[in-house]
A and B are shown apart, each in its own frame.
Chain A
């Protein structure tokens, strides 16, 4: 292979990599009335319908299919990306009742997080807070909930001298870590209410997962939040806030 060919191939390969790794826009072309989300120029493909099924196929693409590594999942090909995912959360959660700063108390609240996807591989739902400790007011805060082992605590327990903030996920898709056997977490297959408490901080934690598409209506994971100031703790007064991020990732 001579030098010209080598240079040409190298430049082309570089261009190919750049083009293929450029983030996809929400559409690939548009007119005054329409936008085309995605396309594929090949030699075959069509939409077929029967009374029971709809089939869309594309022929002629090279290098399609699903590829996985430890860090990434690649769905290559025109039809591969033909799925959607949605997530809905409340605007805000107000925990009640107010907590007396001197004598202590407990406040609770919950958020319904609905995730729906047509991705055949399902989804994984993650939770994290914008900072740590999560529940803060100026320089004051509730500490992140302290779990007594590597698994979530079946019962919420804090020291009387502490104040802490944590969560417990509930729903049909919660992962094994948050399931219980009526006595402990990360064992059994039950989902007892207000059990299996964990901390929420600035690192992401998976809480729900499916291995199949659950449809656009989605499935609700309820995040129970709890904050407590112990009877021997003096908690500064005012409005505390945590910013919670929910991320649904296609499997």
Chain B
């Protein structure tokens, strides 16, 4: 009899506890949302050229390497044009252009392809060059991998069509019959200062068979563009 009474009391207490607990419902009391805040810092990396070696130049190594040129920067994978020098620059006889150069739209450090087009030469590309914003970036077109010492890579000679006075008239980046005709038309012409006649590829004092041989060797060659 007493045990039955205790059971009833227990049931009542349990029921009361569940009634209480059942009323203690709650829902989330906070709402959260995220968003991003972004900004961009620009720091155009600067480059210099050291060195370029125009093909077939007469004279001791690195003494007759002056050339008109301009640089173009593209993305390494998609080869999307980013920026270019808007003017023709001139290297020294040693093949250097030690003037700090930056490009529009190349405003942060990274990996780029950097192209050089010469006055008488096909375009040459340096692949996957890391342009550092903190330091001056040296471009060495005499090495395949842009390493530091002077190498053996040359700019192929013979692209001499168009006026050759601006970045947009520096040839069509292919050596063909047009270039051959131009050179043949100047054959035997003197060039006393060695670098005023564009057809004088080896920059001696005359346009002759040596220049013709250079061009014929490269006939049908195309630039890295």
Contacts and interface: CB of A to CB of B under 8 A. Distances in A.
Interface residues of B, number: 37
A237 B38 CA distance: 13
A2 B4 CA distance: 12
Interface stretch (A49-57, A71-79, A151-159, A180-188): A71-79
Contact of A225 (B9, B13, B37): B37
A244 interface: yes
Interface of B: 6, 9-10, 13-14, 17-43, 107-109, 133-134
A129 to B, nearest CB: 9
B48 to A, nearest CB: 17
Contacts of A77: 23, 25
B26 A24 contact: yes
A239 to B, nearest CB: 5
A241 B37 contact: yes
Contact of A98 (B17, B27, B39): B39
Interface in A68-125: 73-78, 81, 85-96, 98-102, 107, 109, 111, 113, 115
Interface of A: 2, 4-5, 8-9, 12-13, 15-17, 19-21, 24, 38, 40-41, 61-64, 73-78, 81, 85-96, 98-102, 107, 109, 111, 113, 115, 130, 135, 137, 225, 227, 229, 234-250
A88 B33 CA distance: 7
Contacts of A225: 37
A115 B24 CA distance: 27
A240 B23 contact: no
B41 A111 contact: no
26 contacts: A4-B6, A8-B10, A8-B13, A8-B14, A9-B14, A13-B17, A16-B20, A24-B25, A61-B23, A63-B23, A85-B31, A87-B33, A91-B36, A92-B38, A99-B41, A111-B35, A235-B43, A236-B41, A237-B41, A237-B42, A237-B133, A238-B41, A238-B108, A240-B40, A242-B36, A246-B34
Contacts of A61: 23
Contact of A238 (B13, B29, B40): B40
A92 B55 CA distance: 54
Nearest to B32: A247
A62 B24 CA distance: 9
Q: Which of B9, B19, B21 has the most CB of A within 10 A?
A: B21
In the A-B complex, the 9 residue pairs with the closest CB atoms: A101-B43, A237-B108, A237-B43, A16-B21, A95-B39, A20-B21, A20-B24, A61-B23, A12-B14
Given A5-B9, A75-B26, A249-B29, 4 more contacts: A12-B13, A81-B27, A246-B34, A247-B32
Nearest to A4: B6
Nearest to A250: B29
Contacts of B27: 24, 38, 81
Contact of A227 (B39, B43, B109): B39
B31 A248 contact: yes
Q: Which of B14, B19, B34, B41 has the most CB of A within 10 A?
A: B41
B212 to A, nearest CB: 48
Nearest to A103: B43
B12 to A, nearest CB: 11
A229 B42 CA distance: 11
A206 B49 CA distance: 55
A99 B23 contact: no
B42 A101 contact: yes
B14 to A, nearest CB: 4
